[in-house]
Amino acid sequence: MFHKGRVLTISTAHFAHDVFSSFLAPLLPLIIEKLGLSLSMVALLDIIRRIPALFNPILGLIAEKRDVKYFVIFTPAITAISMSLIGLAPSYGILLILLLVSGISSALFHIPSPTMIKKASGDKTGTGMSFFMVGGEFARTVGPILATAGVSWWGLEGVYKLMPIGIVASLILYIKLRDFQTHIAPKKREKGDTKALLLKYKSFFIIIGLFILFQSALRSSLTLYLPVYLTQNGSSLWYSGISLAVLQFSGVLGVFFSGNISDKIGRYKTILFTSIGSTVFMALFIYFQNIFILGVLGFFVFASTPVLMALVQDTNSSMPTFMNSIYMAINFGVSSIIVFGIGFLGDSIGLNETYMVCNIMAIGTIFVALYLKNAKIVN
């Protein structure tokens, strides 16, 4: 049975958290100017924020035995505090510490929440994941606008004044979720241990990892470096922020429809369709640099996320939270490597040429999607 109220509550928590985690990209042009950062140093910022994801499997095992609702309740406030302070950071080292704290908070939120969505979604896991991802993507639409507005009102160092929004959000979530039963009684473990579970799904995660590898080149170049790319090509900070918001808003539409569509036509067809669309429209955006093309591109780029998350939950493992933690570790780990590669290339050959390289790499998602059908891993 699909419990819409529960799904919406968790999706709202996703929104409350990710609004603040999306502050980094729109503020980067100003942070780069303030601290004199190279693109490689910018890449390290995002990598530091992702490092806690390497411990996702351990956190996932802990979450299997705990009432995880408090992770979902308190992390929006923690993320809001750390991310609202990045404009005040007096040095690169302090900035790294703030982003590390934000990364730990993000890991604690994103590990249990998809499993909670699965529990609340019944036999409509794809639809539930779409609602969940709409919360996240809509947050990344509002986040850049909110951050840019904060800079306009108070300057870069005054963005901390937005912090109370996240704190209030956690207080509201506490009221809404304090009686919400989120603990999932563990099933009998497959062959008694996590090693057997990993061996059983090794091939599955290798294929998913390959898809993430090729997709991350395109996605990271847009979500992290788009404001820098546009300002380097003569756009204003406001236009860059609006462009990022347009990308993310179209992503909201993508994740909203894709999960439901995948429930109806199958995961494979949906992933293949989004892979082709992402590759084609990235090429068009590079050539025309048109904000409307960017909007269509965002629809396809983000649409695969709820489908991949539904795939992980479709495995029907005895440890769904642990399975999601493996997926999240692969996702953030692979993305971190790609982010650094993009930063290095951006310093070496320029962001314009780097965007072209990322577009070429995105072609790999189409081949992986085709392999998924032959491997009979998806519907």
Nearest residue to 32 via CA among 23, 41, 20, 22: 41
What is the rounded average pLDDT for all residues in the chain?
Answer: 87
Taking the C-alpha atoms of residue 260 and residue 129, their distance in angstroms, rounded to an integer, is 9
Q: Is the model's pLDDT at 183 over the cut of 60? A: no
- Condensed to tens digits (0 to 9), the pLDDT of residues 80-97 reads 999 999 999 999 999 999
**CA angle, residues 212, 268, 136, in degrees to nearest 5:** 50
| DSSP annotation of 178 | T
Give the pLDDT score at 68.
73
Domains, the chain = 4-375 (1.20.1250.20)
pLDDT tens-digit readout, 4-60: 888 888 898 899 999 999 999 999 999 999 999 999 999 999 889 888 877 777 777
Closest CA to 101 of 88, 114, 86, 111: 86
Once rounded to an integer, what is the mean pLDDT over residues 261-287?
93
Taking residue 196's Cβ as centre, other Cβ atoms within 10 Å add up to 12
pLDDT tens-digit profile of 281-293?
999 999 999 999 9
- The pLDDT, as a whole number, for residue 182 is 58
Q: By C-alpha distance, which of 177, 182, 199 is closest to 190?
A: 199
**DSSP string over 205-247:** HHHHHHHHHHHHHHHHHHHTTHHHHHHHTT--HHHHHHHHHHH
Tokens 């990322």 found at: 358
